[in-house]
Structure 1
Amino acid sequence: MTTRRNFLYLVSAGTTATFFGSATARAWATPAVATATTTDVFRVPPLTYDYNALEPHIDAATMKFHHDKHHAAYVKNLNTAVNKYPQLKTKTVEQLLTNLDKLPKDIQTTVRNNGGGHLNHSMYWQIMGPKAGGAPTGAIATAITTQFGSYDTFKTQFNEAGTKLFGSGWVWLVTDRNKLKIMTTPNQDSPISQGLYPIMGNDVWEHAYYLTYQNRRPEYLAAWWNVINWTEVNNRFDRALKV
């Protein structure tokens, strides 16, 4: 259930009749960048590291296919939907996802699936990096210990949630009323649509790991901790606390 606090930062509190009124959602937004050569407003963000930078934990072929093909397909489909309604082209993907029921009905499902895919993957590339991993540091480390008892306990619960998720989806660490919570979503659904802010999330669609791990999802989940960029996770946690 969406809390009042989370509702305030996702949609404008006093103006429920105003479409996409949240200044905070705009502040956290994945930029919708237009160019002079196309009418599309959403873009796949470039990786800040090489395709092979996360090896041996995530192989270069998976990274290239995942980023250049899968993420690009979500962005293409999202742009196609939004291009049908020019008034939506000034909206961020967060604003679209937090107001799905106010979108034209013929694009609601497309935006839910592909807008979620774009938002989720944009975060995913950022919270991973080379020469990363290890135990968390900073404020998120303290919060994890406070909420879960220890980092090891948190990691075990996070991996179990990801393993038990049936089919494709994501496992998340989110903030809910200033508390941390592990949750899962199916397909490309984003916690932001439920009024929750995703601090970090792991993609458990098979395309994220199958070339290396085949059907061994638990092995992928265990290896993924070696590429976590805790600096970026702390940045996301800090933004959540300031709302």
Structure 2
Amino acid sequence: MFELRKLPYGKDTMGDFLSPVTFDFHYGKHHQAYVTNLNGLIENTEFAGSELFDIITKAKGGLFNNAAQVYNHDFYWDCIAPVASEAGLELQEQIHKDFGSLEAFKDIYLKSATSLFGSGWCWLVYDSTSQKLEIIQTSNAATPPTEGKIPVLVVDVWEHAYYIDHKNARAVYLEKFYNHINWNFVSQAYEWAKKEGINSVRFYMNDIHKKS
């Protein structure tokens, strides 16, 4: 059985970025519902007892949607933090190489997240083949590991992620998100991606969802 992960910070620590009420709904209800649905859908199936990575990369339909949303949210919570931090030097160098500068990356990333139509996610991923960072959008529950891309950073642009605090002003939410990026975690994710490739995603999932 999968369990809802614990948040790495208090739900009242994000100031005017995310309120405790948003956490009550987004984390306490939406994320919890995906975990609950996932457990119900794998019961008495070939996926009972499977690792989350295997479910996401092999399942279809509703089972995939709920499993992927568990992971997408797990990763999102780690990508934000109450206090500002800086990207590690190795990640900064790669961002400069692939996007020109940190300022150019911010502009491209936020424009991509703002322009994503409907519900979904905007990711910074590492491609092991090209050895480059890429910005990609996914709709609904779609997630980069199914395409062999390794997530480094993500922002949730489903309306339930920001509507309570920012109404329809997605751009305002995204600007505040950028100021709360947990660059320490993102830098580690980049290091793991370079070292372990797609296996770093499996290791991450297994670390959060330890089997008893």
Normalised by the length of structure 2, the TM-score is 0.87
Which secondary structure state, in structure 2, belongs to the residue aligned with residue 88 of structure 1? coil
**C-alpha displacement of 1:213:** 1.1
Task: Please point out which of 39, 43, 47 is paired with 1:88.
Answer: 47
Letter in 1 for 2:104: T
2 CA distance for matches of 1:97 and 1:174?
17
Work out which of the two has the higher radius of gyration on C-alpha atoms and give 1 or 2.
Answer: 1
Are 1:153 and 2:108 counterparts?
A: no
1:14-163 equivalences under 5 Å are 41-85=1-45, 87-100=46-59, 108-133=60-85, 135-163=86-114
Aligned length: 194
What's 1:216 paired with? 169
* Aligned-partner SS, 2:154: strand
Tell me the residue number matched to 1:24: none
Q: CA deviation at 1:90?
A: 2.8
How far residue 82 of structure 1 moved from its aligned partner, in angstroms, is 0.6
Q: Which runs of 5+ in 2 are unaligned?
A: 197-212
| Large movers: runs of 4+ above 2 Å | 135-138
Aligned-pair CA distance for 1:242: 0.7
The C-alpha deviation readout for 1:75-109, integer Å capped at 9, x for no partner, is: 11111111131x42332211111123xxxxxxx21
Once residues 60 and 113 of structure 1 are traced to their aligned partners in structure 2, the CA distance between those partners, rounded to angstroms, is 26
One of 113, 116, 119 as aligned partner of 1:168: 119
The 3-state SS of whatever aligns with 2:12 is coil
Q: Return the alpha-carbon distance in structure 1 between the equivalents of residues 63 and 52 of structure 2.
A: 9
- In the alignment, residue 140 of structure 1 is paired with which amino acid? L
Distance 2:115 2:151 in 1: 19
Secondary structure in 1 aligned to 2:75? Answer: helix
The separation in 1 between residues aligned to 2:50 and 2:18, in whole angstroms, is: 33
Instruction: Name the SS for the 2:165 alignment partner.
Output: helix
* Aligned amino acid, residue 110 of structure 1: G
Q: Which amino acid aligns with 1:220?
A: Y
Deviation, 1:147, is: 0.7
Aligned to 1:236: 189
For 1:200, give the aligned amino acid. Answer: L
Question: Helix, strand or coil for the counterpart of 1:242?
Answer: helix
- Partners in 1 of 2:89 and 2:2 — Cα distance? 33
Q: Give the share of equivalent positions with the same residue, in percent.
A: 35
State how far apart, in whole Å, the 2-side matches of 1:190 and 1:208 are: 17
- Partner residue in 2 for 1:227: 180
Counterpart Cα distance in 2 of 1:136 and 1:57 = 20
Q: Could you say what secondary structure the match of 1:185 adopts?
A: strand
